[in-house]
Amino acid sequence: MTLILGEEQRMLQDSAADFFASRLPLAANRALRDLGLTHDTQAWHEMDELGWSGIALPEELGGLAFPLSGIALIQAQAGRTLAATPLLSSNILCAGTLALCASDAQQRDWLPGLASGKLRAALALDEGPRHDPVRITLAAHRVGDNWLLDGAKAMVMDGTLADTLLVAATLDGETALFILPADSAGITRTPLALIDSRDAARFAFEQVAVAADGLLARGNAAEQVLATVLNRARICLAAEMQAISRVLFDTTLDYLKQRQQYGVLLGSFQALQHRMARLFTELELAESCVAAALSALDGDGDLALLAALAKGKTGEVALKIANEAVQLHGGIGVTDELDIGLYLKRIRVAEAQCGDHIFQRTRYAHLIQLAEAL
């Protein structure tokens, strides 16, 4: 396992950094929020043109066949300017599922559209207040050659903009994964306004008919595929949170070097120095977890363990750094004018998505065989 980036990864990282700095800088994303928009459709098309929507898909399906870590690297750079991208929902979660378990015909039906960006997909999984991939009550029934879906999904990221849904359901007591158009009859979708102003929706499914070839996988196969793509998503979110943590840390450090009170720089107070020094050590620990998880994303390392470690550690550290960033900025830290608050809100969402650090710690405990005690 290697913990530093290779040449190709660094080049991708640099071009992603350039793209977000010039095309979707923080000010532009703040402006989108002020207009009530969740993303910049035009900028998303430009990402498609760069090949990012299919970056990790095979070339015969319209992809670039870049290792999966490429998506995490793009997500991290997007995190720095708080830019929304379609990559996590459409590529990692949905295209990733199709590539792992769909039939050739199903792949031909869906993947080229997802790879080109013509289709935008979302994963409908969580039903309760917290991420819980094993508690699925949305029911699937067989009716003739078709399937019928009944139930609800509480929080579907990118659910409002999605034209395609990947739905986790329960079928004869087993997990099953379906793919269907998001405007299928019987679906009610309610857009959600989130603190990070990203796209999300609630869904109700009432007697929603799905064609026979809408079933992608069921039973063990479905559970394993779901586990894999969720672990990949966790690593991408970890990379994004880590990038945001670094921005917040650097911003706060700069502020402590400029802001004067009592006639001295805030940064000269030892109580504050030690808080920053501790955060620095935590930030570096989290960085190493992300680095190892990126390797695992590309097949080198234990994906489940490193996903739990990376998302758990970065989530915990990101919350801590965001909280300290607000506190150390003092009064201005709680104003909307300062960007700190935008980062804080994004971290809260990314932390919760696909399982917060408490969820990940529990996962880690299971994976290192502490489960009997839990």
Partner 1 sequence: MTKSSTFRLSAREWLEANCPPAMRTPPPEGGIVWAGSRVHFDSTEQQQWFERMRDKGWFAPDWPVEYGGGGLDASDTRILEEELSRLRCRAPMINLGVWMIGPVLLASGSAEQKARHLPGMARGEVAWCQGFSEPGAGSDLASLSCRAERDGDSYVVNGSKIWTSYADRSDWMYALVRTDPAAGKHAGISMLLIDMTTPGVTVKPIDLISGKSHFCQVFFDNVRVPAENRVGAEGEGWQLARDLLGHERRAMSKFGDNNVPGVDFLALARQLLPLADTASRPLLAERVARAAMDEHAYKLTLQRAHEAGRAGQDVSGLVASFKYLHSEQNRERHELLMALAGNEALGWEGDPFDETLLKLTRQWLNSYTYTIAGGTSEIQLNILARRVLGLAASGG
**Sites of contact with partner 1 (CB under 8 A):** 2-4, 253, 256-257, 265, 267-270, 273-274, 276-278, 280-281, 284-289, 291-292, 309, 312-313, 361-362, 364-365, 368-370, 372-374
What SS3 state is found at 155?
strand
Question: Which of 277, 262, 268, 266 has the alpha carbon at shortest distance from 329?
Answer: 266
How near is the Cβ of 360 to partner 1 at its closest, in Å?
9
Q: Under 8 Å CB-to-CB from 348, ≥6 apart: which residues?
A: 195, 196, 319, 322
Q: Under 8 Å CB-to-CB from 366, ≥6 apart: which residues?
A: 374
* DSSP annotation string for 119-144: S-EEEE---SSS--TT----EEEEET
How near is the Cβ of 255 to partner 1 at its closest, in Å?
12
Q: How far apart are CA 86 and CA 48, in angstroms?
A: 9
Q: How far apart are CA 49 and CA 72, in angstroms?
A: 18
Q: How far apart are CA 85 and CA 24, in angstroms?
A: 10
Alpha carbon separation from 89 to 3, 17, 116, 119, 300 (Å, rounded) = 26, 21, 14, 11, 23
How near is the Cβ of 302 to partner 1 at its closest, in Å?
11
How near is the Cβ of 21 to partner 1 at its closest, in Å?
22
> Which residues on adjacent β-strands are paired with residue 150?
139
How near is the Cβ of 253 to partner 1 at its closest, in Å?
6
When the beta carbons of 54 and 267 are compared against partner 1, the nearer one is: 267
When the beta carbons of 153 and 311 are compared against partner 1, the nearer one is: 311
When the beta carbons of 29 and 252 are compared against partner 1, the nearer one is: 252
When the beta carbons of 175 and 245 are compared against partner 1, the nearer one is: 245
When the beta carbons of 32 and 256 are compared against partner 1, the nearer one is: 256
Q: How far apart are CA 89 and CA 34, in angstroms?
A: 24
How near is the Cβ of 367 to partner 1 at its closest, in Å?
9
How near is the Cβ of 358 to partner 1 at its closest, in Å?
9
Neighbours of 174 (CB within 10 A): 16
Neighbours of 312 (CB within 10 A): 24
When the beta carbons of 199 and 282 are compared against partner 1, the nearer one is: 282
When the beta carbons of 45 and 257 are compared against partner 1, the nearer one is: 257
Q: How far apart are CA 217 and CA 240, in angstroms?
A: 30
